[in-house]
Amino acid sequence: MGILLTGGIVVTAADTYPADVRLEGEKITAIGRNIAQDGDEPVNVAGCYLFPGGIDPHTHFDLPIGDMRTADSFASGSKAALIGGTTTIIDYATQFKGESLATGLTNWHALARDNCYTDYGFHMAITDWNDTIAREMKELVEEHGISSFKLYMAYKNVLQVDDGALLSAFRAAAGCGAILCLHCENGDVIDTLVRQSIGQGRTEPRYHAVSRPALVEEEATRRAILLAKMADAPLYVVHLTCAGALTAVEEAKRAGLPVYAETCPQYLLLDESYYEQAGFESAKYVISPPLRNRANQPVLWQGLTNHMLDTVATDHCSFHFSGQKDLGLHDFSKIPNGMPGVETRLSLLYTYGVAGGRINLNQFVALTATNAAKVFGLYPRKGTIAVGSDADITVWDPCYEGIISAQTQAQRVDYSPFEGFVQKGRAKYVYLRGRLAAGEGQLIASQADGQYLQRSPFRTGIL
């Protein structure tokens, strides 16, 4: 016996068409008309779009930062993701100083196992490069299905690696079928600017943005692209925010280099004016890279429409305003960087992208699911609606209207950066591998049975 979604409009990255979709077990078994079988359970989804379940390729759940952890665990974060229409997350497992990659991976499996309501995979963040890491990277690709690794060009003396390590990592990745994800900001320059600001008594949250100007992102992005080119390796630029960095990516793409880039809803919809709020309120928006001048937003939207930006992720890294962010009440450099967003990603991009006339439905699907699945070795199991693919389907009600508020969110954090934003459309039903898991803003799944996803090695020419 299967489930038959009837009367909806199927939307993939390439096509939009009316069709029924039949789910049986964990897979999509038929698409079309007159596909019902005896005993099927019909579900009327007339007037709704059928999107492949969203894939958020950039989350930080249960991440330790000094003596604290992010507000959202794998349980609360994945619940919020599922309610918002995302059925797969790829979180950043992290190797801290002195650890092996295997230790970092073991730690993250312990956090996620039996706690994740969505399916999940891991990137592996490398913060301590040494002679054994290249061998470990190969082992993670071949034995654990981890085909992407992250390095930081920022956070000096904590996470940042030097250019020599970056070049070595690019070469190792190219040799073992992996792609590097880079946080592109010049950490050395930022460190100097932060110390200057603090020394001059400029300690308010707004100086976080002043100490991380767009030029440090543009410079690091260009440097990362050149290092990747030297190593003949692919590159994925995370959370791109500004016109200068996007220009660097565009030049690389037009030159035929395997360079990919993501942006996030906060950079499409929020701007540096949020740092001018009274008191300490602007600490809610202390993220890295920071919010930019509003002039960058139309450039980023254009990047989405002309395929220069490949994915819209969240960089969900939530900290409570009270009790965590306020550790930096008298020193912006002590404010933990990050904000929530995994629950509102699809609704924001639909409202201000599709309904706002900036992107079409097929681009919406590509940016929220298909491209991430292709870049990170999950396609066609995930990221599309096709016979044989996992039955991850978000039934989208385009007629819903509401207001985003921390009072109604599932994210376990005490504020929403998008408080008061209008929302048009939401997930009416969310199916994870053929089971109804969420809908109408509520969790339906009774247990956290998300599966760990071993991903295929990176392949060139995927987009």
Q: Report residue 20 as tokens.
A: 């029924």
Handedness of CA 426, 429, 434, 436 (dihedral sign): positive
Count the Cβ atoms, other than its own, within 10 Å of residue 400: 16
Q: Does residue 219 carry a pLDDT above 90?
A: yes
Q: Does residue 66 carry a pLDDT above 90?
A: no
Rounded to an integer, the average pLDDT of 313-326 is: 97
DSSP 8-state secondary structure symbol assigned to residue 274: G
Alpha carbons 114 and 447: distance in angstroms, whole number? 8
Q: Which amino acid is at 406?
A: A
Q: 80-114: per-residue pLDDT in tens?
A: 999 999 999 999 999 998 999 999 999 999 999 99
Q: 32-58: per-residue pLDDT in tens?
A: 999 999 999 999 999 999 999 999 999
Long-range contacts of 102-110 (CB under 8 A, 24+ apart): 102/136, 102/139, 105/140, 105/144, 105/146, 109/452
Handedness of CA 74, 77, 80, 86 (dihedral sign): negative
Rounded to an integer, the average pLDDT of 342-371 is: 98
Q: Report residue 90 as tokens.
A: 């790829």
Q: Report residue 317 as tokens.
A: 């890294």
CB 85 within 8 A of CB 266: no
- CA 309 to each of CA 61, 351, 374: distance values in angstroms, whole numbers, following the listed order: 24, 19, 14
**pTM above 0.85?**
yes
Domains of the chain: 2-51+385-399+424-443 (2.30.40.10), 54-376 (3.20.20.140)
Q: Does residue 170 carry a pLDDT above 90?
A: yes
pLDDT of residue 67: 87
Q: How many CA atoms lie within 13 A of 133 on its CB side?
A: 26
Name the pLDDT band for 205 (thresholds 50, 70, 90). Answer: very high
Q: How many residues does the chain have?
A: 463
* Class of residue 259 by CB neighbours under 10 A (exposed 0-12, middle 13-18, buried 19+): buried
Alpha carbons 251 and 257: distance in angstroms, whole number? 9
160: left (phi over 0), alpha (psi -120 to 50) or beta: beta
- CA 278 to each of CA 1, 284, 463: distance values in angstroms, whole numbers, following the listed order: 58, 12, 44
pLDDT of residue 257: 98
- As a whole number, the mean pLDDT across the chain is 97
Alpha carbons 217 and 192: distance in angstroms, whole number? 15
Query: Which are the contacts of 197, defined by CB distance < 8 A and separation ≥ 6?
Result: 203, 207, 210, 211, 332
Q: Which pairing describes strands 68-69 and 148-152: parallel, antiparallel, or unpaired?
A: unpaired
Q: 119-145: per-residue pLDDT in tens?
A: 999 999 999 998 899 999 999 999 999
Alpha carbons 386 and 373: distance in angstroms, whole number? 14
- CA 89 to each of CA 119, 231, 264, 316, 360: distance values in angstroms, whole numbers, following the listed order: 7, 29, 15, 10, 23
Q: Does residue 243 carry a pLDDT above 90?
A: yes
Rounded to an integer, the average pLDDT of 202-219 is: 97
Alpha carbons 198 and 126: distance in angstroms, whole number? 29
Q: Does residue 278 carry a pLDDT above 90?
A: no
Alpha carbons 219 and 247: distance in angstroms, whole number? 11
